Amino acid sequence: MGVSAPLLSIAGVIAAVVAIMVDGRRAVAIAAVLLAAGLAPSAATFGGAPGVAVLAGCAVAAVLLAWAGWLGGRILPWLSGLDPMIPAFAPPDRLFGPRSARAFGAAAAIPVASWVSFNVPVGQVTVSEGLLFPIAYAWVCGVVRLLVARTVEDLAVGVAMIGIATGTAWLLRSGTDSFGGAVLACTVAPLAAFLAGWLNGRSSRRARPLIEAEA
């Protein structure tokens, strides 16, 4: 049965759009899970079951490590740190906010990813197939999320997106080392989730006594 490139692209694009827009304390884990799910059809096409297993493992590890990091940040008492959700700076009020910038970036990423998928061959994928589109789109969205970041959480989401997109690109490469490369690239997402969870855990531990004191 042939591969439906538009179907693969739609799954990847939806996942990448959600990942670039998601906010909140669980943003890294949500982005990792959705992006892994969205790129899984592409991974299955060229990496088979092991390819899907890499992305599934990455998603599960991101969720578990985000939770473990949050728990560790709450329990371990000897470190203080920054809240990843608080913007590092406050820009003046504007008509378009940071999410609008992300949405604009996601729209601008479509022609970039399209050009890459039809001009840059990777491994066995020929340029006429356009199968690189969802991966290139997810990678560009990750970079956009990095470039318009206002919080440490934004940076972590961007890094996780780039890691998963690069890992899937390694699966498309289809060489002897493609599986190892995919695993290595995908480890970035769980690590980013752990870091964000850790910082969230520490800031939530610090916030509670403050609220109690104010009450």
Partner 1 sequence: MNPLVIAAGWLVLGLVASAVLRRRTARLVAIVPLVGAGLTFLAARSSTAAVPLGGLSAITGLDRAGQGVLIAAALSMVLVILLQPSIDPALGRSIGVVGAAATVAMSSSNPLVTGLVLSAAVATLVLRWIAQCPGRVTLAAGRVAGAGTAAIVAASPLLPLTGFTTGDRPVVVAALLATGVAALLAVYPLGGWAAGVIRTLRPIEIAPWMILLVPVVLIIAERIPGGVLGTGTPVFEHVLLVVGLGSAVWGGIWAVRGPDTMRYGRVFMADIALCVAAVERASVSPAITGALVILVTHLTLAPILLRSRGSELVWPRRAAWALLSGVPPSPAFWGRLLLLEALAAGNVGSTIAAVIAIGAIFIAAVLACAPRPRPVRTPAVPERRARPRPVKMPALPERLSNLAAWLLVALGIAIGLAPQSLAGFVFGH
Contact residues for partner 1, defined by CB under 8 A: 81-82, 86, 88-89, 116, 119-123, 139, 142-143, 146-150, 152, 155, 158-159, 162-163, 165-166, 169-170, 172-173, 175, 177, 180-181, 184-185, 188, 195
**Which CB atom, from 152 or from 215, has the smaller least distance to partner 1?**
152
CB of 1 to partner 1, least distance (A): 26
CB of 114 to partner 1, least distance (A): 13
Token pair recorded at residue 31 = 């982005």
Give the orientation angle of helix 133-147 with respect to helix 152-173, to 10 degrees: 160
CB of 146 to partner 1, least distance (A): 5
Token pair recorded at residue 145 = 């999320």
CB of 182 to partner 1, least distance (A): 9
**Which CB atom, from 40 or from 135, has the smaller least distance to partner 1?**
135
Alpha helix segments (H runs only) across the chain: 5-21, 27-75, 98-119, 133-147, 152-173, 178-186, 188-214
| Cβ-contact 73, 201 below 8 angstroms | yes
**Which CB atom, from 75 or from 147, has the smaller least distance to partner 1?**
147
CA distance 75 to 195: 15
**Which CB atom, from 61 or from 162, has the smaller least distance to partner 1?**
162
DSSP state of 148: T
CA distance 55 to 169: 12
**Which CB atom, from 90 or from 215, has the smaller least distance to partner 1?**
90
CB of 172 to partner 1, least distance (A): 7
How many whole angstroms from its chain centre is CA 190? Answer: 10
